[in-house]
């Protein structure tokens, strides 16, 4: 195909660039404006890292967009923890931006958010410490060349930030291989009679889900190595609307969706529905309702609205309407087809139907229910 083929030959660009690439401009501007002391191997001072996360304006007029919307103190505690010899544990219910904050912290502190171990029930010790290239190992015996370092080992060697996602999903004995790393700052390589010592600047950010508690308890020995920061759900509907609107706008731009005309009204309704169902009571505090089994997090509100934007852009008139979000809301709320459907029907009839100005939303939701 040639160039006239409608852009089929266009150079590929990452579907989801890493934070340090997506926000390279902001990070550069911050580094240039930042005259405060930086801990060893940090790209920015702790103050600048906080500004990167929470947003602000630099003396030259450069605007730093807020990445995280939440209490400043939490971010300050998280950032200053990384400047100590204790590791950081971000804890919270799903969708409270633990992964998001972890990525942006690593990007701002070390300029590299990719030294990542994804925790699952199948995460092995090799993924946390090191493995072997077996062809090399058989040919030459154990050597540094035959060794395959884990992201944690690389972060230790480089003085960078390692990330461990969903720490409590990792089997307890594999979790425990982090104890020596975090307490002694060293990784023994018994096969070679050597060790890797962490270079200054090394630290580790782990995330864990509140609801996973009991899946694999964090051992108390390991827990002592971490400072825990609990990320809360957005405190008010306004804050949550702002978060959703901002992320939907960013996602829409990176997916190159034609930008839908002001969708704030619809975003507000999605957020209201999610918050009321989550809290088990209407926003005015008057009507008790049942909560469905799903989590209905901010993250889910973001994906419902992004899906609605795509519908509006491609199949509607470009304006986000109730009909574009109804199916997404239904899909997020009704996880368990039996019990959640009853909860949803009750909510629709008792709350949505009676609400002023929500007729179109009620109708769209009725039509979306099979
Ligand atoms: N307080 C918040 N500030 C900014 N973004 C948020 C906030 N809460 C949720 N989000 C958004 O929610 C999305 C999902 O968050 P994620 O980090 O995957 O959640 P978790 O890892 O806690 O389950 C991210 O795109 C993030 O931008
Ligand atoms: Mg996560």
What number is the average pLDDT over the span 43-47? Answer: 97
Burial (CB < 10 A; 0-12, 13-18, 19+), residue 103, is: buried
Nearest by Cα to 251 from 15, 18, 8: 15
Q: Residues with beta carbon < 5 A to ion ligand 2? A: 98-99
Number of neighbours of residue 286 by Cβ within 10 angstroms: 8
Nearest by Cα to 68 from 116, 115, 105: 105
CA 163 to chain CA centroid, Å, is 12
How far does the centroid of ligand 2 lie from the alpha carbon of residue 356, in Å?
A: 37
Quick one: what percent of the chain has pLDDT higher than 70?
94
What does the mean pLDDT of the chain come to?
91
Choose one of 253, 278, 299 to mutate for the ligand 1 pocket test, by most ligand atoms within 8 angstroms of C-beta. Answer: 299
Residue bearing the bigger pLDDT, 228 or 4: 228
Domain 19-230 falls in which CATH fold? Rossmann fold (3.40.50)
Nearest by Cα to 111 from 49, 32, 47, 197: 49
How far does the centroid of ligand 2 lie from the alpha carbon of residue 91, in Å?
A: 10
How far does the centroid of ligand 2 lie from the alpha carbon of residue 115, in Å?
A: 15
Q: Which ligand is nearest to the CA of 92?
A: 1
Domain boundaries, the chain: 19-230, 237-368
The 10s digit of each residue's pLDDT in 302-358 is 999 999 998 988 898 888 899 999 999 999 999 988 899 999 999 999 999 999 999
pLDDT at 1 > cutoff 60: no
Query: What pLDDT score does 113 carry?
Result: 97
Contact present, 327 and 368 (Cβ < 8 Å): yes
What's the predicted TM-score (pTM) here?
0.91
What number is the average pLDDT over the span 144-158? Answer: 97
Nearest CA to ligand 1 atom 7: 97
Residue with tokens 């790209």: 43
Nearest CA to ligand 1 atom 10: 97
pLDDT at 216 > cutoff 80: no
Tell me how far apart the alpha carbons of residues 69 and 72 are, in angstroms, rounded to a whole number: 9
Tell me how far apart the alpha carbons of residues 348 and 232 are, in angstroms, rounded to a whole number: 28
How far does the centroid of ligand 1 lie from the alpha carbon of residue 3, in Å?
A: 39
Residue with tokens 């010790």: 125
How far does the centroid of ligand 1 lie from the alpha carbon of residue 68, in Å?
A: 8
Nearest CA to ligand 1 atom 1: 69
State which ligand 1 atom lies nearest to the alpha carbon of 247. 27
């Amino acid at each position: 195909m040639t160039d006239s083929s409608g852009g089929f030959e266009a150079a590929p660009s990452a579907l989801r660039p890493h934070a340090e690439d997506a926000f390279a401009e902001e990070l550069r501007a911050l580094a240039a404006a930042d005259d405060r002391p930086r801990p060893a191997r940090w790209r920015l001072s702790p103050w600048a890292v906080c500004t990167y996360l929470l947003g602000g304006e630099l003396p030259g007029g450069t605007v730093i967009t807020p990445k995280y919307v939440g209490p400043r103190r939490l971010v300050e505690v998280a950032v200053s923890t990384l400047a100590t010899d204790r590791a950081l544990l971000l804890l919270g219910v799903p969708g409270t931006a633990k992964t998001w904050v972890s990525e942006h912290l690593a990007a701002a502190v070390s300029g590299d958010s990719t030294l990542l171990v994804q925790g699952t029930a199948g995460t092995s010790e090799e993924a946390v410490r090191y493995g072997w290239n077996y062809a090399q190992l058989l040919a030459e015996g154990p050597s540094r060349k035959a060794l395959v370092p884990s992201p944690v080992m690389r972060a230790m060697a480089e003085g960078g930030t390692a990330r461990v996602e969903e720490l409590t999903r990792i089997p307890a004995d594999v979790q425990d291989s982090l104890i020596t790393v975090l307490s002694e700052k060293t990784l023994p390589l018994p096969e070679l009679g050597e060790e890797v010592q962490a270079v200054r600047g090394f630290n580790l950010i782990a995330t864990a889900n509140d609801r996973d508690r009991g899946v694999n308890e964090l051992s108390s020995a390991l827990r002592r190595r971490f400072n825990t920061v609990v990320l809360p759900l957005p405190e008010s509907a306004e804050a949550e609307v702002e978060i959703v609107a901002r992320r939907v706008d960013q996602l829409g731009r990176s997916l190159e969706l034609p930008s839908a005309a002001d969708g704030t009204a619809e975003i507000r309704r999605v957020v209201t529905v999610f918050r009321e169902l989550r809290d088990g009571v209407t926003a005015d505090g008057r009507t008790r309702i049942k909560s469905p089994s799903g989590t209905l997090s901010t993250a889910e509100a973001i994906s419902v609205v992004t899906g609605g934007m795509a519908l509006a852009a491609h199949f509607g008139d470009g304006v986000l309407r109730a009909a574009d979000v109804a199916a997404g809301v239904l899909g997020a709320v009704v996880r368990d087809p039996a019990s959640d459907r009853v909860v949803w029907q009750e909510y629709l009839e008792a709350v949505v139907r009676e609400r002023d100005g929500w007729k179109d939303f009620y109708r769209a939701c009725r039509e979306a229910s099979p």
